[in-house]
Structures are given as C-alpha cells and as structure tokens.
Amino acid sequence: MRVLLAEDDTILADGLCRSLRQAGYAVDWVSSGNQADAALIAQPYDLLILDLGLPHLPGLDVLKQLRARSNTMPVLILTAADSIEQRVKGLDLGADDFMAKPFALSELEARVRALVRRSLGTASNTLRHGDLVYDQAGRVAQLNGQTLELSARETGLLEVLLQRAGRLVSKEQIVDHLCEWGDEVSGNAIEVYMHRLRKKLEGGGIHIATVRGLGYCLEKPPEGVGKP
C-alpha cells in the first residue's frame, strides 16, 4: 500500500514515515500544499495523510482539488487546531477521518488500517483466499494453517494481489503500489519476486496466472475451498 504524507513539520514527518514504513507501507513525503497537489496528480496512492497547515497551498484546498478531480482515495486529516469548525469543514470537503495533534502513533496506524479496510469494502483486517489467510495488521500470511516465510517485497506483492483477487494487475500497478520515490524496481525484479511468491503458494493450491504482456492475476479458488 502506498501512502502520501503531506506534513511540513520535518520531525513529525520523519516519525510518521518511520512508523508507517515499519508497518509495511510505502510512503512518499511532501512538505507543502502545492507539492502534495502535484504528487496526487502524477501518482496513484492508496491513502493521503494531510496536514491542514501546509505552506503555499492550505490542506483544505488540496483536499478540495483532489475531490474536484473525482478522486475517492481515503484522506486522513491532521491538524494542530482541534476545533469543531475545522472538523466540519474538512469532513464536508470529503475527508474520511480527522486527528488532532499531538496524537499517539499507534492510534494513527489503527486509523490508517481502518481507512484502508473501508476503501476495500472489508470490515476485517483478515483477507481470505481459499486456504490462504492474510492478516493485514500483522502482515502475516498462513497457508493451510502454516505461516509462510515471506520477504517484505513478497508480502507487499501478495497484499496487492489479494486486494485485487480475480482481477488483472499490471507490473506498473504493482510498482506504483509497492515503491516509494527513489526506489529502483524493474519489471525483471517484479518477475523475480513473483516467481518466489508463486513457488511458496502453489503447493497449497493458490495459483497466480501470468497474462503475457499484461500482468498477473490471483485466480479465484475452487468453490467451497477455504470457507470457515
């Protein structure tokens, strides 16, 4: 999952980036409103964490312009002013959640997980696919009750495929969701990660199809397999 953090406090931004990356998210950071708006136009994200007090372009204007482009990504607003008026204005402009500074990192991470679940239309942190069970909070996958040993890249790749199970996912989409600015991940590298992940899954009846020149698809399990 790829997150854009728009925050002009460098100390807070550094702490948030570290925390979110440790939780398995790819994070891009900008420190002004115009940088945030440009990034949102140029790059697809799964979530925006938006400070209201940004220089050059206020956070509420960034949000307003995002929604004017019919972009429905989840938005979590951060602000130093815990006022009802700002909460109402932010929510009316299309924000999904609101946190006043200071806040606990653990609460922010929980809110991020809840927003991601909501955007995917699920009520649980657990994704199931046949006999494969993936805990999005703990980033742990189990197949037939056995924990899979996955690298960080393999885990991220599995998450992207599970969230789009039954649909075609291109290499470009995978890179967009897994990689931050400055990450050098080639199409060949994606093929290597996919090969390793496929080997760990296919023994348990989980199949990833390759559509040559287009991408990959996590095939739907047979009817009745993996149901509790």
Task: Check whether 228 has a pLDDT greater than 70.
Answer: no
Compute the half-sphere exposure of residue 70: CA atoms within 13 Å on the CB side of its CA: 0
Which pLDDT tens digit goes with each residue over 68-101?
999 999 999 998 766 778 778 888 999 999 998 8
- The predicted structure's pLDDT at residue 198: 92
Helices 33-42 & 59-68 angle (0-180, nearest 10): 20
Q: DSSP string covering 184-228, please?
A: ---HHHHHHHHHHHHHHHHTTT--EEEETTTEEEEPPPPTTTT--
101: tokens are 């500074």
Compute the half-sphere exposure of residue 115: CA atoms within 13 Å on the CB side of its CA: 24
Of residues 76 and 44, more confidently modeled: 76
Q: In whole angstroms, what is the distance from residue 176 CA to residue 170 CA?
A: 10
- DSSP assigned state of 169: B
Q: In whole angstroms, what is the distance from residue 31 CA to residue 56 CA?
A: 10
| Residue 206 burial (CB count, 10 A) | 25
Task: Check whether 139 has a pLDDT greater than 90.
Answer: no
Ordered domains of the chain (ranges, CATH) = 2-120 (3.40.50.2300), 126-218 (1.10.10.10)
Q: In whole angstroms, what is the distance from residue 144 CA to residue 204 CA?
A: 7
Which pLDDT tens digit goes with each residue over 141-190?
999 999 999 988 899 899 889 988 889 998 888 888 877 776 767 778 88
Which pLDDT tens digit goes with each residue over 201-220?
987 889 999 988 889 999 98
